[in-house]
Amino acid sequence: MSSESGTWKQSKFEARENPLFFWQYFDTTFFLVTTITLMMSFWVFRTLKQWYRDRARTLYLASKLPGPPTLPLIGNAHLFACNPEETLDKIKQIVQSVDTPGRFWLGPKLFIILAEPRDYEVILGCHKASYKDKMYEFIEPFVGKGLVSGSGPVHRAHRKAIMPMLNSKALNEYLKHFDTHSRICSELLEEKAGTGVFDIQPFMVHCTFDMIFDTILGMPGSSQKEGHKELVYWTEKMYELVHTRMIKVWLHADWIFSWTDLGKKQKEGQHVIHSFIETAVARKKKEHYAIERDAIAPDRPRLMLLEQLIDHNAKTNLMNDTELRDETYTIFTAAQDTTGVISSFALLNLAINQEIQDKVREEIRNVVGNDSVTVEHLPELKYTELVIKETLRLYPIAPLMVREATGDIDLETCTLPKGCSIVMIPYETHRSTKYWTDPEKFIPERFLPENSVGRHPYAYIPFSGGLRGCVGQKFAIMCLKTMLVHVIRKVRLTSTQNLETLRLKADISVRSRDGYMVSVERI
Q: How far is residue 130's CA from residue 220's CA, in Å, rounded to a whole number?
A: 37
Q: Decide: residue 196, CB within 10 A, 0-12 exposed, 13-18 middle, 19+ buried.
A: exposed
Q: Spell out a b/e string for 149-159, using b for 16 or more CB atoms within 10 Å of the CB, else e.
A: bbbeeebeebb
How many other C-beta atoms are found inside a 10 Å radius of the C-beta of residue 234? Answer: 20
As a whole number of angstroms, the distance between CA 476 and CA 337 comes to 10
Helix axes 321-352, 201-212, angle to 10 degrees: 140
DSSP state of 436: -
- Helix, strand or coil, per DSSP, at residue 521: strand
> To 5 degrees, how large is the angle CA 318–CA 322–CA 327?
70
* Cα within 13 Å of Cα(233), Cβ side: 10
CA diameter of the chain:
113
Q: Which residues of 170-181 are buried (b: 16+ CB within 10 A; e: fewer)?
A: bbeebbebbbbb
Query: In angstroms, rounded to a whole number, what is the distance separating the alpha carbons of residues 117 and 111?
Result: 18
* 489 contacts 523 by C-beta, under 8 angstroms: yes
The CA radius of gyration of the chain, in Å to the nearest whole number, is: 29
**Extended beta strands in 79-190, E state:** 102-106, 109-114, 131-132
CB-CB neighbours of 415 under 10 Å: 14
Closest to 351 (Cα-Cα) out of 491, 481, 495, 489 = 495
470 is in an annotated binding site: yes
Annotated binding site for heme: 470
Binding-site residue positions: 470
